[in-house]
């Protein structure tokens, strides 16, 4: 077990300082960094995998090999059969179409700067809303793919005030903005639809944690739009893989600790802070009668607390601010839950052979607790990856009965995965990741656990 240690000074550094001026990094098919010490090669090897995901390993004489693997969302996307396009390509096509179908919104009402991320359900743009008297407001515009609406479970009306039937993601966020007081729930600003897609405008949140990682830079998107008066405009947008989220934060910070302390373990103080703040936000959502339905590192946005151009911190501490995003699977808890948002990290109750499947009314809030446990696991683990058992279950090589083998009460982590975790962190993790949803703690109980004090 490792001793608790604080690397708070890490958060007093700029992203450039955190990441260093030299050195490279990489991306592939899940969200982890793993390291080995036995390489002497200092060439970066790059490859594009079958699902069009960038893979790269970097080795130097002085540094161990760093292998950063892309988050599960890309794999989840590749599994969907509604299109043969890769996630990145689909995002590019959707943005180009948006400028055609919603020309006025995208060029006059908003000024779009770039793509800040994409997933299986949509692509998110960074933009400024042009306000009267020359002022402006930074916003995120999520283009929600229409395919989502064809799926009836995703288009169900969850109780928004509008008469119009909107994607559940939009009405869920509207409901939460009315009923939930947490400042870590994304602020709804507007929505509209055109012939191709729905559009959700929210606050833009997070710092660019990958700014200094040249290998994460994707080719810019260049295209033309034509106005009603036939004026042709060329647009050039930067494309990012989700640089503001917890996955990116974890990549940046692991790279830093690996370079400075020769470990891939993240410092415990910010991990606890992030888990605690996310638990508080989720708790507020649960108390409003909803579950989130897709808690994972890619759906937690992280913002460096320093105000731009100032030496003071925003909240009096140097720990980052967090925001829960992606309400695409958020539903009223009373309606129950049939599956969790991302299959790779699915709680066991939804795994093939589970006695809970189909028969029992499941409370999605208990599944959120498991998913938050997985977030804690990913942050606490050595390589930043999800547990082996998740991958095996997702591949179908581990069914529910095998997960429960030996009378496991807790989701089976292997010894190597947990050897460096502090005892009290592991205690909370095992409670949150109980196989039986009813045995998992509520978020009030999570927040009062000794490890989070
Ligand atoms: N408001 C925001 N501000 C900054 N970045 C954002 C914002 N919303 C989303 N992102 C980035 O865009 C990515 C994709 O957005 P989102 O998770 O909403 O898409 P999705 O298609 O629903 O994802 P999934 O595949 O998880 O269902 C996020 O992982 C995050 O990195
Ligand atoms: Mg998402």
Specify if 2 maps to a domain: no
Instruction: Summarize pLDDT for 276-304 with one digit per residue, the tens.
Output: 999 999 999 999 999 999 999 999 999 98
Residues 225 and 251 in one domain: no
Q: Are 108 and 130 in contact (CB under 8 A)?
A: yes
Q: Are 27 and 1 in contact (CB under 8 A)?
A: no
What value does the mean pLDDT take over residues 226-248? 91
Residues 308 and 379 in one domain: yes
**Which residue, of 224, 239, 254, is where some domain finishes?**
239
H/E segment holding residue 335 = none
Q: For residue 125, which ligand has an atom nearest its CA?
A: 1
Residues 313 and 378 in one domain: yes
Instruction: Summarize pLDDT for 26-57 with one digit per residue, the tens.
Output: 323 333 333 333 332 222 222 222 222 233 33
Distances (CA, A) of 43 to 23, 60, 68, 71, 175: 11, 7, 16, 24, 51
Q: Are 127 and 111 in contact (CB under 8 A)?
A: yes
What value does the mean pLDDT take over residues 143-160? 54
Structurally, the chain folds into a number of domains equal to: 2
Residues 220 and 255 in one domain: no
User: What tokens does 318 get?
Assistant: 């140097």
Residues 169 and 134 in one domain: yes
Specify if 343 maps to a domain: yes
H/E segment holding residue 289 = none
Decide which of 315 and 362 is more confident.
362
Expressed as residue numbers, the domain containing 270 is 246-452
Residues 181 and 320 in one domain: no
Residues 215 and 268 in one domain: no
**Which residue, of 239, 269, 302, is where some domain finishes?**
239
Ligand 1 site, CB within 6 A: 73, 76, 116-122, 124, 140, 142, 186, 202, 204-206, 242, 244-245, 294, 298-299, 301, 325-326, 328
Nearest to 408 by CA among 424, 387, 425: 387
d(CA 222, CA 206): 25
- Closest protein CA for atom 13 of ligand 1: 117
84 annotated as belonging to a binding site for a ligand: no
Instruction: Summarize pLDDT for 415-453 with one digit per residue, the tens.
Output: 999 999 999 999 999 999 999 999 999 999 999 999 999
Nearest to 159 by CA among 141, 178, 140, 142: 178
Decide which of 407 and 388 is more confident.
388
Residues 107 and 128 in one domain: yes
Please determine, for residue 269, whether its predicted confidence score (pLDDT) is greater than 60.
Answer: yes
CATH of the domain at 207: 3.30.200.20
| β-pair type (54-58, 65-68) | antiparallel
DSSP for 169-213 reads: HHHHHHHHHHH---TTBPPEEEEEE-SSEEEEEEE-----TTTT-
Q: For residue 123, which ligand has an atom nearest its CA?
A: 1
Specify if 5 maps to a domain: no
């Amino acid at each position: 077990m490792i001793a608790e240690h604080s690397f708070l000074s890490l958060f007093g550094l700029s992203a450039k300082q955190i990441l260093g001026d030299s050195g490279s990094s990489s991306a592939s098919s899940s969200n982890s960094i793993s390291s080995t010490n036995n390489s002497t090669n200092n060439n970066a090897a790059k490859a594009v995998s079958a699902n069009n995901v960038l893979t790269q390993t970097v080795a130097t004489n002085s540094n161990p090999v760093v292998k950063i693997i892309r988050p599960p969302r890309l794999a989840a996307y590749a599994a969907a059969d509604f299109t043969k396009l890769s996630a990145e390509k689909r995002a590019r096509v959707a943005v180009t179409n948006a400028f055609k179908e919603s020309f006025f919104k995208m060029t006059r009402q908003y000024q779009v700067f770039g793509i800040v991320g994409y997933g299986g359900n949509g692509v998110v743009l960074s933009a400024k809303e042009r306000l009267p008297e020359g002022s402006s407001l930074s916003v995120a515009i999520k283009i929600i793919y229409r395919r989502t609406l064809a799926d009836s479970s995703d288009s169900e009306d969850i109780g928004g005030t509008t008469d119009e039937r909107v994607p559940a993601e939009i009405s869920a966020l509207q409901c939460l903005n009315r009923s939930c007081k947490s400042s870590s729930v994304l602020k709804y600003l507007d929505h509209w639809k055109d012939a191709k897609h729905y559009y959700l405008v929210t606050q833009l949140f997070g710092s660019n944690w990958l700014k200094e990682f040249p290998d994460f830079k994707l080719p810019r998107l260049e295209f033309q739009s034509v106005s009603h008066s036939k004026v042709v405009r060329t647009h050039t947008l930067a494309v990012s893989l989700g640089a503001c989220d917890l996955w990116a934060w974890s990549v940046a910070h692991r790279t830093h600790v690996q370079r400075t302390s020769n470990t891939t373990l993240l410092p415990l103080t910010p991990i606890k802070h992030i888990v605690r703040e996310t638990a508080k936000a989720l708790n507020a959502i649960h108390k409003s009668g909803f579950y989130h339905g897709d808690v994972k590192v890619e759906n937690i946005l992280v913002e460096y607390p320093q105000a731009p151009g100032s030496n003071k911190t925003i909240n009096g501490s140097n720990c980052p601010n967090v925001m829960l995003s992606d309400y695409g699977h958020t539903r009223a808890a009373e309606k129950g839950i049939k599956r969790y948002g991302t299959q790779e990290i699915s709680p066991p109750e939804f795994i093939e052979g589970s006695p809970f499947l189909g028969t029992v009314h499941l409370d999605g809030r208990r599944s959120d607790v498991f998913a938050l446990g997985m977030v804690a696991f990913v942050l606490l683990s050595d390589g930043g990856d999800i547990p082996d058992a998740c991958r095996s279950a997702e591949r179908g090589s581990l069914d529910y009965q095998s997960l429960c083998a030996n009378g496991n009460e807790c989701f089976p982590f292997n010894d190597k995965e947990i050897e460096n975790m502090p005892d009290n962190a592991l205690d909370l993790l095992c409670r949150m990741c109980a196989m039986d949803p009813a045995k998992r703690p509520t978020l009030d109980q999570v927040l009062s656990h000794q490890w989070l004090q």
